[in-house]
């Protein structure tokens, strides 16, 4: 998805981008020799107005460099859930409520002390003691943890096999460094003691640098000798200029017409990869008529030309979304083969009118009139500065207008949008669905009845308020399943509900905007080698940094 | 004396009203700091969950006490100059955050305001004196042309041409990446180079206001009898223009100048944004978009107080400049 900026600056950015397209193509880029082949330059955090030093891995305002210093047990790929092991060498469920990790031997903290199971137990108990640190909600699911020798055991309150992904990603801190910290919530951690590939070198208000950790357990796999994080500009237009100037080895920014504005500036080295990272959908309020009628929702879904919508919203960089609820091709291996056309819906006015008729709505004089004699109406709400959502909603409004529904758009600030959606007082809303790389997490967040709070009681998850006992049953089965075929069957059942009940009208895939230069380092994630998403603000950074090769 | 006392009383009442408004306005904004933090996560494409919402709420420590006790606390904070910690930069005190940004804005916006005032006023005097002639047309048309540019647009244009295309100036920031602010010559030189584009943008777009104000006042004053009398006496035209006409024509511009100086600490949100300048305008934008009440209150307080102080000083100065107000 796009990094958002105020509309005013966006408009200005477009103006400049137009100049850019016309003027950029002829000029060549000076190769940034100042960086040296040993330095990996990553477009860093937004420094507004300047960076504030904080590498506390549990703080919401921590700088992204912490992802290259603190290691979790394992990192699941947000694409398909494949694990890359770090402080653990593997895990197994001895039964559906007991998860046992084998910890990596001979790991040292950057201050020379040995890493042990005590550090892992200490970290999890820290999250228990300070719930503000527990952003993954570990202790809502976990009953107890214990460490002994080279194993770390997690006991769940109830079977929840997929939750291992959350447990695995908790960054592990050193007991000897953190036990003396009085308030870890406010702790700024300016001298991180870590197990990861890099340690903190220098910090300045506009850039910080990490240097290679000589004690790192797989130091031979780490090519860059240092990593520089220059702060991001506070507005999108300046950022786009900064990125196209070629100073970053790894940037993450939405750029219009990327071939001309970015790749062609140095076509020998500049590459991009925009894989799907989430699904954007039209969420209909299921507590309101006629949206509570499945035939009406199907009619809406069939009235839409999703290819056009994806074209308008994300420049066609990404495709229409599958109504199976899975992000394809990322999760292809979970796709129920009995779902027609991989769940891709083709626009069909005649099919839509049949479904509308089943819901009691008939097209009369260009208007879709219900049994109460009134025209079907819909107000779609979305944050006004999420420009791709707005573009998609405009196209949805046009297409639904053609089948006789009167659609109006409401584009408030995010705050009003979140009040309306969380409180369930909206008609229809644009929103995000899925993107964790794990079908259970995606379907659970999006469809679990336990989240479907009463109207006016806020909920972030399942805000469309879908309730279906068969979904909860399938989720329960999936949570408890350790056997691949049982997992597949439960996932198929969820896909069928998604496809047939249309709890959300999924529209198009939201992108992940990775921009790379390979003159210093190669081995970036790509369509040919999709080992993780190109997000340079998540723990995917650790997976990428330990795979890079020197270009020379 | 009664004039001054009246002004002091007015100043105190306005100050109270402004400070109270500062407290009320941010709280009337829809949404909460927690939602603003969630919006940031949502906008990166990550799915947000109830768990995250809860953890962020606890992390920020958003107040749950009632509005009146918050108001009492707010006044206490003002007198002790202790504004607590912001939600955007929870590891720093608000005073520290503002202290880091303040000098940048004062130097950049302050110096461009003074330069624009001096140059603009002189051009206005010239245009007014040579009214209807070629020099007047050149100044008037030029000022209209540049004054019509929206500052952020001119900023982007300069940025694109001079920084990106030709690489003459740096693209962003107040100083080089990796540099630590210090009062050494290399750093100051670096900071000056970085400030040229934003300063030019601000100066060019604010110049026209001074030009037109001064030109109109000049033309009015030049119509006065005492100017005709001075001319009839055969005084040199420069003496008439500068000492007779301009001195009186300057008065309204001085008021406006005082107000602009007061507005300096507000920074320039859009121009600082375009150039990623580490000043108060940028900080203000962050505070508002994060629903950061502690930071917003402190910023608005600094802005209102300096504005009111500037008005107060101008009022007092007027006693000297214009004997008529003393009555």
Selected residue with higher pLDDT from B7 and A88:
A88
CB A375 within 8 A of CB A315: no
Residue A15 pLDDT class (50, 70, 90 cuts): very low
> Cα separation of A470 and A63, whole Å?
42
When the pLDDT of each residue in chain A is averaged and rounded to a whole number, the result is 88
pLDDT at A475 over 70: yes
Region at A435 (left for phi over 0; alpha for psi -120 to 50; beta for the rest): left
What is the pLDDT at residue A30?
A: 36
Distant-in-sequence, close-in-space partners of B235: CB < 8 Å, separation ≥ 6 = B244
Q: What is the pLDDT of residues A164-221, one digit of tens each?
A: 999 999 999 999 999 999 989 889 899 999 999 999 999 988 899 999 999 899 999 9
Distance to chain B for A105, nearest Cα, Å: 33
B185 to chain A, closest Cα gap in Å: 18
The CATH superfamily holding the domain B94-326 is MetI-like (1.10.3720.10)
Measured between beta carbons, which residues in chain A are less than 8 angstroms from residue B179?
Answer: 204, 206
* pLDDT > 70? residue A320: yes
pLDDT digits (tens, 9 = 90+) for A380-426: 999 887 888 999 999 999 999 999 999 999 998 887 888 899 899 99
Helix ranges (H only) for A175-230 are: 175-178
Q: How many angstroms separate the CA atoms of A70 and A91, rounded? A: 20
Break chain B into its structural domains and give their ranges.
94-326
3-class DSSP state of A313: helix
A233 chain-B contacts, CB cut-off 8 A? 171-173, 276
Q: Which residue of A has its CA nearest to B104?
A: A49
For A435, which of B47, B89, B171 is closest by C-beta distance? B47
Express as a percent the part of chain B with pLDDT over 70. 95
Q: What's the rounded Cα separation, in Å, for the pair B176 and B193? A: 10
Domains and CATH numbers, chain A: 278-510 (3.10.105.10)
Q: Is the pLDDT of residue B107 over 80?
A: yes
Give A5's pLDDT tier (boundaries 50, 70, 90): very low
Count CB neighbours of A212 within 10 A: 18
What tens digit of pLDDT does each residue of A480-517 get? 888 889 999 999 999 999 999 999 999 999 889 999 99
A137–B55 C-beta distance less than 8 A: yes
Is it the case that residue B221 has pLDDT exceeding 80?
A: yes
pLDDT digits (tens, 9 = 90+) for A344-388: 999 999 999 999 999 999 998 889 999 888 999 999 999 887 888
Inspect the interface and report whether the beta carbons of A242 and B172 lie closer than 8 Å.
yes
* pLDDT given at position B19: 85
Closest CB to B50: pick one of A15, A434, A461. Answer: A461
Radius of gyration over alpha carbons of chain A, in Å?
A: 24
pTM: 0.83
B56 has pLDDT over 90: no
- Rounded distance between C-alpha atoms, residue B45 and residue B40, angstroms: 9
Chain A positions touching B178 (Cβ under 8 A) are 202, 204, 206-207, 209, 228, 230
Judged against a pLDDT cut of 70, whether residue B98 lies above it is answered with: yes
List pLDDT tens digits, range B142-183.
999 988 888 888 999 999 999 888 888 888 888 888 788 888
Nearest-Cα distance to chain A for B261, in Å, is 22
Choose from A319-328, B125-134, B218-227 the range with maximum mean pLDDT: A319-328
Rounded Cα distance, A65 and A316, in Å: 32
Q: Which of B38, B43, B53 comes nearest A386 by C-beta?
A: B43
Residues of A in contact with B46 (CB under 8 A): 278, 435, 538
Query: A22: pLDDT confidence band, cut at 50, 70 and 90?
Result: very low
Say what the pLDDT of residue A527 is: 92
Preferred mutation among B36, B37, B49 to probe A, highest tally of A CBs within 10 A: B49
- Higher pLDDT pick, A418 / A335: A335
Q: Which pairs from A480-485 meet CB under 8 Å and 24+ separation?
A: A480/A96, A480/A159, A480/A160, A480/A161, A481/A96, A481/A161, A482/A93, A482/A96, A482/A161
E-strand ranges in A383-504 read 406-410, 428-433
In the prediction, which pLDDT does A531 show? 94
Chain-chain contact of A49 with B277 (C-beta, under 8 angstroms):
yes
């Amino acid at each position: 998805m796009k990094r958002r900026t105020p509309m005013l600056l966006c408009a200005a950015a477009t103006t400049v981008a137009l100049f850019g397209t016309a003027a950029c193509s002829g000029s060549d880029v000076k190769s940034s020799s100042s960086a040296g082949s040993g330095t990996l330059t990553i477009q860093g955090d937004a420094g507004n107005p300047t960076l504030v030093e904080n590498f506390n891995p549990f703080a919401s305002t921590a700088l992204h460099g912490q992802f290259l210093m603190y290691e979790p047990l394992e990192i699941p790929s947000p694409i398909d859930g494949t694990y890359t092991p770090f402080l653990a060498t593997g895990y197994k469920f001895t039964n559906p409520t007991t998860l046992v990790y084998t910890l990596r031997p001979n790991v040292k903290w950057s201050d020379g002390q040995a890493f042990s199971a005590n550090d892992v137990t200490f970290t999890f108990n820290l999250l228990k003691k300070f719930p503000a640190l527990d952003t993954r909600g570990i202790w809502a699911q976990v009953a107890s943890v214990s460490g002994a020798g080279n194993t770390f055991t997690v006991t769940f309150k109830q079977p929840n096999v997929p939750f291992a992904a959350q447990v695995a990603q908790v960054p592990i801190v050193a007991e000897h460094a953190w036990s003396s910290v009085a308030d870890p919530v406010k702790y700024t951690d300016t001298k991180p003691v870590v197990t990861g590939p890099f340690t903190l070198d220098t910090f300045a208000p506009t850039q910080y640098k990490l240097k290679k950790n000589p004690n790192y357990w797989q130091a031979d796999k780490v090519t860059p000798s240092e990593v520089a994080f220059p702060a991001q500009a506070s507005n999108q237009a300046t950022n786009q200029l900064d990125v196209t100037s070629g100073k970053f080895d790894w940037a993450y920014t939405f750029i219009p017409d990327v071939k001309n504005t970015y790749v062609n500036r140095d076509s020998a080295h500049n590459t991009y990869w925009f894989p799907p990272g989430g699904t954007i959908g039209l969420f209909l309020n299921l507590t309101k008529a006629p949206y509570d009628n499945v035939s009406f929702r199907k009619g809406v879904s069939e009235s839409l030309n999703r290819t056009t919508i994806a074209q308008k919203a994300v420049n066609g960089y990404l495709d229409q979304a599958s109504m199976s609820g899975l992000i394809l091709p990322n999760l292809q291996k979970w796709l129920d083969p009995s779902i027609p056309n991989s769940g891709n819906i083709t626009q069909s006015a005649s099919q839509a009118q049949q479904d509308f008729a089943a819901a009691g709505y008939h097209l009369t004089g260009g208007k879709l009139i219900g049994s109460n004699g009134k025209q079907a109406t819909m107000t779609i709400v979305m944050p006004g500065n999420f420009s791709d959502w707005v573009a998609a909603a405009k196209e949805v409004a046009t297409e639904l207008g053609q089948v006789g529904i009167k659609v109006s758009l409401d584009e408030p600030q995010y705050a009003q949008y979140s009040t309306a959606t969380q409180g369930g007082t909206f008609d229809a809303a644009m929103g995000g669905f899925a993107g964790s790389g794990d079908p259970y997490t995606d379907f659970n967040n999006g469809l679990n009845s336990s989240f479907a709070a009463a109207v006016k009681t806020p909920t972030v998850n399942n805000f469309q308020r879908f309730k279906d006992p068969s979904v909860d049953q399938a989720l329960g089965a999936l949570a408890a399943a350790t056997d691949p075929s049982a997992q597949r069957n439960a996932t198929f059942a969820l896909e069928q509900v998604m496809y047939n009940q249309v709890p959300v009208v999924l529209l198009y895939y939201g992108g992940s905007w990775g921009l790379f230069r390979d003159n210093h380092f190669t081995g970036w994630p790509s369509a040919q080698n999709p080992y993780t998403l190109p997000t340079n603000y998540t723990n995917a950074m650790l997976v990428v940094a330990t795979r890079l090769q020197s270009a020379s | 004396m009664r004039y001054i006392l009246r002004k002091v009383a007015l100043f105190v009442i306005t100050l109270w009203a402004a400070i109270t408004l500062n407290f009320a306005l941010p709280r009337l904004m829809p949404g909460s700091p927690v939602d603003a933090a969630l919006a940031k996560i949502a906008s990166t494409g990550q799915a947000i969950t109830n768990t995250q919402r809860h953890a962020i709420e606890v992390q920020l420590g958003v107040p749950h006490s009632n509005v009146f006790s918050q108001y009492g606390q707010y006044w206490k904070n003002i007198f002790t100059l202790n504004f607590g910690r912001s939600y955007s930069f929870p590891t720093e005190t608000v005073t520290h955050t503002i202290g880091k940004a303040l000098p940048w804005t004062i130097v950049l916006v302050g110096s461009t305001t003074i330069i624009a005032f001096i140059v603009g006023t002189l051009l206005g005097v010239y245009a007014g004196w040579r009214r209807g002639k070629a020099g007047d047309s050149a100044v008037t048309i030029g000022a209209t042309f540049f004054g019509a540019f929206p500052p952020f647009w001119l900023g982007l244009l300069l940025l694109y041409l001079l920084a990106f295309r030709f690489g003459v100036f740096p693209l962003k920031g107040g100083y080089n990446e990796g540099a630590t602010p210090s009062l050494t010559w290399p750093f100051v030189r670096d900071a000056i180079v970085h400030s040229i584009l934003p300063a030019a943008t601000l100066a060019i777009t604010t110049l026209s206001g001074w030009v037109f104000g001064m030109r109109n006042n000049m033309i009015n004053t030049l119509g006065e009898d005492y100017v005709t009398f001075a001319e009839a006496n055969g005084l040199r035209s420069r003496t008439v223009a500068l000492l007779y006409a301009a001195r009186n024509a300057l008065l309204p511009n001085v008021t406006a100048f005082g107000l602009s100086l007061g507005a300096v600490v507000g920074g320039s949100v859009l121009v600082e944004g375009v150039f990623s300048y580490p000043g108060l305008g940028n900080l203000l934008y962050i505070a508002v978009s994060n629903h950061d009440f502690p930071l917003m209150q402190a910023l608005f307080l600094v802005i209102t107080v300096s504005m009111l102080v500037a008005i107060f000083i101008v009022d007092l100065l007027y006693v000297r400049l214009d004997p008529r107000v003393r009555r």
